[in-house]
Amino acid sequence: MKKINIAIDGPSGVGKSTISNFISKKYGLKFINTGSFYRAVAYYFYEKYNKNLELIANEQFVLDNWKIEYISLDENGNVLLQNKNVSDKLRMDEISWWASYVSKYKIIRKQIVDFLQAYAAKNKGIIMDGRDTTSVVLKDAELKIFLWASPEIRAKRRLKQNKELGYSSDYEQLLNEIKKRDFQDMNREHDPLYKTEDSVLIDSTDLTFEQVTEKVSSLIDERVKDE
Ligand code: DC
């Protein structure tokens, strides 16, 4: 199959990573979750400075104490922080919140975008998900998707996941957090989340996982045919 690049953007909790991971295996693409880069920066400060995450709210402190060279990727596309696989640490709620701070900093964004673009230049056949992969990182991707679901359905899905994992959570609180993060992601000054004109909108509010992956698969099949 001809190798193509795919970019998927969308708000938090919409299922981008689960879909991208599935599609990457089905089509033999390399999956890069760009959010894990911002999370890795947040986790670096979390671990090194005694969980004093207030420090990360100070942009100058972050810039003075961070080097993009701390990050690399393993052959499976996992982010390594100073050569250690920290994937299992990056999904913590505190890290989600503080990652949204570092993702506002222009210089941090530029470092990460440059890293991802250099990687993409050397590795054709990738699928990236995030907030700016369609608009900035993989502007020339053969397929661009904006994956959406209403905040209410995302909160319900998260509530169900938490229940299955044995965590108790409150629907209204989850909904509020989702709305707050949407607002931050869509209204920040640098590279905010939006649907580019050339992205295909998939509204997954009333779709199952299988229906979404079928839609994505048929878009890929069309693109591969055209190539
Ligand atoms: O997708 P995620 O929840 O793992 O992302 C973590 C944070 O990083 C989130 O606040 C949005 C931000 N992010 C970004 O600004 N640009 C990206 N390409 C990916 C994530």
Smallest CA separation from ligand 1 atom 6, residue: 35
- pLDDT the model gives residue 227: 60
pLDDT at site 2: 79
Beta strands 200-203 and 143-148: pairing type? parallel
Judged on CB neighbours under 10 Å (0-12, 13-18, 19+), 222 is: exposed
Q: Is 11 annotated as a binding residue?
A: yes
Question: For 139-193, what is each residue's pLDDT tens digit?
Answer: 999 999 999 999 999 999 999 988 998 888 899 999 999 999 899 899 999 999 9
State whether the beta carbon of 38 lies less than 6 angstroms from ligand 1. Answer: yes
Q: Which atom of ligand 1 is nearest to the CA of 91?
A: 4
Q: How far is the CA of 109 from the centre of ligand 1 (A)?
A: 10
Amino acid identity for residue 74 in this structure = D
| CA–CA distance, 161 with 4 (Å, rounded to integer) | 32
Residue 173 contacts residue 112 (beta carbons within 8 Å)? no
Which tokens belong to 173?
């609180």
Tell me how far apart the alpha carbons of residues 128 and 188 are, in angstroms, rounded to a whole number. 21
Torsion sign over Cα 110, 126, 38, 140: positive
pLDDT for 226: 65
Q: How far is residue 119 from each of residues 92, 123, 143, measured CA to CA in Å?
A: 26, 6, 18
- Check whether 217 is labelled as a binding-site residue: no
Q: What domains does the chain contain, in order, with CATH numbers? A: 6-221 (3.40.50.300)
Ligand 1 centroid–CA 26 distance in Å is 24
Question: What is the number of the ligand 1 atom nearest to the C-alpha of 137?
Answer: 18
User: pLDDT averaged over the chain?
Assistant: 94
Report the C-alpha gap between 41 and 171 in whole angstroms: 29
| Nearest CA-CA partner of 175 in 187, 158, 188, 189 | 158
- Residue 213 annotated in ligand binding: no
Q: Is the CB of 103 under 6 A from ligand 1?
A: yes
100 pLDDT band, cuts 50/70/90, is: confident
Contacts of 183 (CB under 8 A, 6+ apart): none
Residue 135 near ligand 1, beta carbon < 6 Å: no
Q: Name the residue with the closest Cα to ligand 1, atom 20.
A: 35
